[in-house]
Amino acid sequence: MASDPTNVYDSLGPVYGDAAETARKRYETIKSAFEERFGAAPDVYARSPGAVERLDGVDTVVAVRKSGDQLVVCNVEAGKYPEKTFSIDPAQEVDVGKHNWGNYFLAAYKGVFEYLGGKGVATPPPVGLQVMVHGTVPTGEDGARGGGLSSSAAIVCAAALAVLHSHGIRLTKGEVSEFTAKAERYVGVTSGGMDQAISIMGMPGIAKMVEFNPVRASDVVLPEGAVFVVANSLAISNKAESAVKHYNLRVVECRLAAGALAVMLGECKVRPTLPRAAGQRGGAGRGCLARQRTAASLSAERDECEAVLQEAARKIITLKEIEPLIEAKYSGPKASTSGAQIAAVKELLHDDPYETAEVEELLGVKLADLYQGNDSALRVLAANGSFVLKNRALHVYAEKQRVPEFSDVCNSGAGVEKKMEKLGRLMDDSHASCRDLYECSSVELDALVQVNKAAGAIGSRLTGAGWGGCTVSLVREGEVDTFIQKVKEGYFKGLVEAGRVTEAELGQHIFASKPASGGAVLTLKL
Q: Please tell me whether the peptide bond between 515 and the residue prior to it is cis, using omega within 30 degrees of 0.
A: no
**285 CB burial (10 A radius; 0-12, 13-18, 19+):** exposed
Count the neighbouring beta carbons within 10 Å of the beta carbon of residue 502.
Answer: 9
Residue 63 DSSP symbol: E
Q: What phi, psi does 23 have (nearest 5°)?
A: -65, -35
Where would I find the H helices in 276-415?
Answer: 283-314, 323-330, 340-348, 356-363, 367-370, 375-383, 390-410
List phi, psi (to 5°) of 49: -90, 170
Amino acid present at 468: G
Contact of 208 with 216, CB cutoff 8 Å: no
Burial 406-445 (b: 16+ CB within 10 A, else e): bbebbeeeeeeeebbebbbebbbbbbbbbbebbbbbbebb
Examine residue 353 and say whether the peptide bond preceding it is cis (omega within 30 degrees of 0).
no
Catalytic-role residue among 195, 219, 369, 446 = 195
Catalytic residue check, 195: yes
Report DSSP state, residue 274. Answer: P
Which residues share a beta bridge with 520?
7, 47
Name the residues annotated as catalytic.
195
